[in-house]
Amino acid sequence: MAETKEWIIAIVGYILALISPLLGVIAGAIIYFTQKENPFLSKHGKYIIIVAVAVWIIGIILVLGGIVPSLI
């Protein structure tokens, strides 16, 4: 079973992926590549990267489709 600090690291990574996909990809990559010996964090690092990329793609689709106005 994962420890509390491992859960907190994973949850913060997912929150970063949802709020800022770029930071989510960076955080997920750091977790994934530095925690190879920890299967819990390694797995969640990979999932954080996937979530961040998905949020990024959805955001691009929404802006290009004119559904959400661009901030630029």
The answer to whether 6 and 40 have CB atoms below 8 angstroms apart is: yes
Q: Is 55 exposed, middle or buried (0-12, 13-18, 19+ CB in 10 A)?
A: middle
Q: What is the pLDDT of residues 3-17, one digit of tens each?
A: 999 999 999 999 999
pLDDT (0 to 100) of residue 2: 77
Section 49-63 average pLDDT: 95
Domain range summary for the chain, segments of one domain joined by +? 1-18+37-68
pLDDT (0 to 100) of residue 19: 96
* Banded model confidence at residue 72, pLDDT cuts 50, 70, 90: low
